[in-house]
Chain A
Amino acid sequence: MDWQGQKVAEQTMQIMLLVFAVIAFITGYVLGSFQMMILIYAGGVTLTTLITVPNWPFFNCHPLSWLDPSEAEKHPKPQVAVSSKKKATKK
């Protein structure tokens, strides 16, 4: 997942769980059935897990462009400077 996708996944997870909890509680209260509330909520949790936890492609819409290995070789990492130290001790 990319950064944008991570944010979308987290928000989707929170909103979906809250919405399912509200639907479950109201349905259970109106029907007078505790079991109904738990079943709806459990179904909601499973659905949310399937949508937000695996690494789906639609979470990768703004992919990060990593540098090619051949490009990286052309721009080597800078070395630590050694020459300035020798000059100081001579004095």
Chain B
Amino acid sequence: MHSFGYRLNALLTFAVTILALMCAMGSLSDNLNTPSPSAEIQIMNINWFQKQPQGNDEVSLTMNISADLQSLFTWNTKQVFIFVAAEYETPKNSLNQVSLWDAIIPAKEHAKFWIHTSNKYRFVDQGNNLRGKKFNLTLHWHVMPKTGKMFADKLVMTGYSLPEEYR
């Protein structure tokens, strides 16, 4: 503490170290949060179901997605990224996951919502296995923090299936 510059350096270094500790504590406080999200997805309509020239099946569907994800938000949450994936099994792959729709929820007020939409991303198979296929729709969410650890989890909804014939 011998000169102005010496004291300023010591103060700034100590202040930044304490700031890092506060951010770590903020991230640890996220573990105290016990979320209880809920969601429901209904398939309103299969718009079309065809085989592409390359030989792969493709489906277009319209979904009604409603969810209440407000309990995921804490004081240390920047945004929540969610996406809906269709999961099914084929002889070639034991698990196929195709992302159909995603969104970013910037604040707690927007976390309770419903949306009527067609799939944002194309539902294309590796092959032509989709006729009559039973599949799950899984809602995944990633809780992105302002500082620290990101939490990710999902909700699996079963019981969906595709038509037996192309339309």
Contacts and interface: CB of A to CB of B under 8 A. Distances in A.
B75 A28 contact: yes
A21 B18 contact: yes
Contacts of B29: 29
Nearest to A11: B1
B62 interface: no
Interface in A6-63: 6-7, 9-10, 13-14, 17-18, 21, 24-25, 28-29, 31-34, 37, 41, 45, 48-49, 52-55
A13 B10 contact: yes
A13 B7 contact: yes
Nearest to A48: B11
Give the size range of A's interface with the partner.
Answer: 20 to 34
A45 B17 CA distance: 12
Q: Say what secondary structure dominates the interface of chain B.
A: helix
Given A17-B11, A53-B7, A37 B1 contact: no
Given A17-B11, A17-B15, A41-B19, 13 more contacts: A1-B1, A6-B1, A9-B1, A13-B11, A18-B18, A21-B18, A29-B26, A34-B26, A34-B146, A45-B15, A53-B7, A54-B4, A55-B4
Interface of A: 1, 6-7, 9-10, 13-14, 17-18, 21, 24-25, 28-29, 31-34, 37, 41, 45, 48-49, 52-55
25 contacts: A1-B1, A6-B1, A9-B1, A9-B7, A10-B1, A13-B7, A13-B10, A14-B14, A17-B15, A21-B19, A21-B22, A25-B22, A25-B26, A28-B26, A28-B75, A29-B29, A29-B75, A31-B75, A32-B74, A32-B75, A34-B76, A37-B26, A41-B19, A53-B4, A54-B4
